């Protein structure tokens, strides 16, 4: 990385920091559009990424980095964008009506190609699981929620309870697949 830019961040060179902040802002806004980030969130993410750059500069981490200032800044921002998407995904309510134990819930896969035998087995046996296991595995693996997030949002006693239930559900699914006649 450009050492003079790292030094400017580390030593609080206001003029160069202001210039750097403005230099990549518009380019970042254009870059972040493809991730579906709202404009006010873009500003927050860019500012947080820039502050992250400054913290890394102050800690001395940036002197050994082999990429440009812009690449590193956008890398931090991209991770923040992913965190933002994960946060919003975790706030979507789980619609239990769509996953009612009495319904014929089927996993839908948006693909024009034929499913492999393994995918067909997984879909079949996933649908054989109970409502709570289907919900647990959907929240965890499809929506990407952490055990802690599932515990908070769905009233489990702790993340350890979620981890334990998820483990039992996965074991049940694996056992069903292993003992299938194929």
Q: Phi-psi category of 144—alpha, beta or left, where left has phi over 0 and alpha has psi -120 to 50?
A: left
The 10 Å CB-count burial string (b at 16+, else e) for 94-110 is: eeeeeeeeeeebeeeee
Whether 105 and 98 have beta carbons less than 8 Å apart is answered as yes
The architecture in CATH of the region 3-90 reads Orthogonal Bundle (1.10)
Gap between the Cα atoms of 77 and 53, Å rounded: 10
pTM beyond cutoff 0.85:
no
How confident is the model over 93-150, as pLDDT tens digits? 555 444 444 444 444 544 455 777 778 888 888 888 888 898 888 888 877 788 888 8
Gap between the Cα atoms of 24 and 26, Å rounded: 6
Domain 96-178 CATH assignment equals 2.60.120.260: no
Residue ranges per structural domain of the chain: 3-90, 96-178
Residues constituting the chain: 182
């Amino acid at each position: 990385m450009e050492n003079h830019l790292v030094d400017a961040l580390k030593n609080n060179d206001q003029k160069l920091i202001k210039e750097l902040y403005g230099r990549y802002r518009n380019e970042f806004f254009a870059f972040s559009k493809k991730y579906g980030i709202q404009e006010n969130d873009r500003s927050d993410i860019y500012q947080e990424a820039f502050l992250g750059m400054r913290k890394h500069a102050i800690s001395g981490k940036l002197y050994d980095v082999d990429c440009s200032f812009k690449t590193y800044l956008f890398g931090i921002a991209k991770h923040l964008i992913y965190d933002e998407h994960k946060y919003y995904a975790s706030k979507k309510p789980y619609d239990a009506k769509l996953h009612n134990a009495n319904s014929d819930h089927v996993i839908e896969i948006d693909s024009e190609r034929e499913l492999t035998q393994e995918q067909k087995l997984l879909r079949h046996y996933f649908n054989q699981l109970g409502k709570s296991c289907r919900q647990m595995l959907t929240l965890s693996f499809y929506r990407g929620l952490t055990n802690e997030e599932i515990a908070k949002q769905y009233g489990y006693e702790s993340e350890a309870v979620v981890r334990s239930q998820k483990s039992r559900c996965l074991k049940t699914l694996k056992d069903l697949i292993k003992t299938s006649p194929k």
